[in-house]
Each structure stands twice: as structure tokens, then as C-alpha cells.
Amino acid sequence: MTDNTIHKAFEAQCQTEIAGQGQDQKLVGLAKEFFNESARHKYSYHFSWMGRPIIQLPQDMMAMQELIWQIKPDLIIECGIAHGGSIIYYASLLELQGHGEVLGIDLDIRPHNREAIESHPMSKRISMIEGSSIDPAIAEQVHAAAKGKKVILVLDSNHTHDHVLEELRLYAPLVSVGSYCVVMDTVVEDMPADFFPDRPWGPGDNPKTAVWKYLEENNSFEIDQQLQNKLLITVAPDGYLRRVR
């Protein structure tokens, strides 16, 4: 057997096992229980990438690595910058591939975060826009930057239904066929309401409800259920959207 044959057989076996994970209701329940209990300790806040807080689950970052390697985008657009760990992570993966740029958008890029990102070794592959992601003037800049490019889109800013839905309407059309729009924190829909006492989002008003609404309006995307079954523990259930047409 050739190495390629062995690899394909291994992949096929993994796909079967992943499907089984997704059908194992006990395992799915344990994953959800782990997520909710660990979230009480802000589990996802405790990881960094190349010195910057990333504020993501390691499982989701591994999924993003797989997608970036598979798609080899020209441009990754992320709405939401915070400390900059995720855009630096994406930039470092593009640096390894030798191609691609990251565009981050945030309503408020705090000076200490901007300084840390701009002085980082990966800054050469990063550009940032300060302003609301749903401001038409900002959207115009993003569309100009994305023109003619193979795009991955990540939405991780304001998590209200209306905001995320508008982001999807503005930016999802930029995603290339075969590429992904990843909507983070759809998990809010599945968490206890008391997790968000001081936030304008919660169950019934969050990124997942926005995804469901957008998919009713637009048939260009489908939820990658196999990827979700692989991760089990993720901030983005129903949030990995593959563009199929």
C-alpha cells in the first residue's frame, strides 16, 4: 500500500468515528456539561498564542488551523480583535504557509492592544480597522480589501442577534465557495441564562439565532455538522458555515 492509500484509509476511519461521536448522546451531553462548568471558571480565557491572550477554546483554534491549511486563503477577516491573540494566531499560520493576510475590525482597539499587535513579529500580515463592523463605511473598506481574494470570515464581536445577522448580511457574501464563515459564540443559545446578567445577549438573542435566521434567507451556506461532531467542545455549535454555492 502506498502512503496516500494508507492516509485515505485512516481518514475514512476517522470520519466514521467522528460520525459516531456525534450520535453518542451521552458523550455529547458530557461535552456540554464540561463546557458549561468550565465556563464558570472562564476556561477559554486562560490560553495565549505567541504571547497574546487568545480567549478561545483550543478545540476551535485547532479547527481553524485545519480550515486555513485546507483553504489557503488570501485574506482572513475577523470582526472582533480584543487582545489580538486570534488574529496573531491566524497570521502565524499564514506565515507558515507563506501567503495571506489578516484584517481585524473592532469598535474599540485599545491603545495597549494596538501597540502589542503592531509590535508583534506577525504584524506584517495584519491590518486593522477601528469602527463598528456594521457601519456601511467600514463595510465598504472591507469589501474593497477583499475584492478578488479567497476569503475566510470569522465573526466574534457583538453577540446580539441583530448585530450578528447584519454582519452576516454584509460580509458572508465575501466568503469564497468552498471556504467558511465561522460564527463564534453561538453556544450562548445553549448556556444557562444566568451566565449573561450584564450582557445584551443570551438564550433567544445571540449568534446562533442569527445564523438560523440567515440560513433561512440564504441558501449559499450549510452547517458543517461533521466538523462540529469532531470538536464536541466548541464555542461555535452550528457556527461553522461552509459556502457551497
What is the grid cell recorded at 56?
Answer: 478561545
pLDDT of residue 15: 95
What's the pLDDT band for 3 if we cut at 50, 70, 90? Answer: confident
Does residue 1 register a pLDDT over 70? Answer: no
Query: What pLDDT is attached to residue 34?
Result: 97
What pTM, to 2 d.p., does this model score?
0.96
Q: Kind of pairing, strands 151-155 and 180-183?
A: parallel
DSSP strand E in 50-100: where? 52-53, 75-79
Q: What is the pLDDT of residues 80-126, one digit of tens each?
A: 999 999 999 999 999 999 999 999 999 999 999 999 999 999 999 99
Measured at the alpha carbon of residue 126, what is the angle toward residues 80 and 130, in degrees to the nearest 5?
45
DSSP H/E element including 241? strand 240-243
Residue 193 has pLDDT above 90, yes or no: no
- Give the pLDDT mean for 40-59: 97
pLDDT greater than 70 at residue 44: yes
Which value, to the nearest 10 degrees, does the dihedral of the CA atoms of residues 164, 167, 172, 173 take?
150
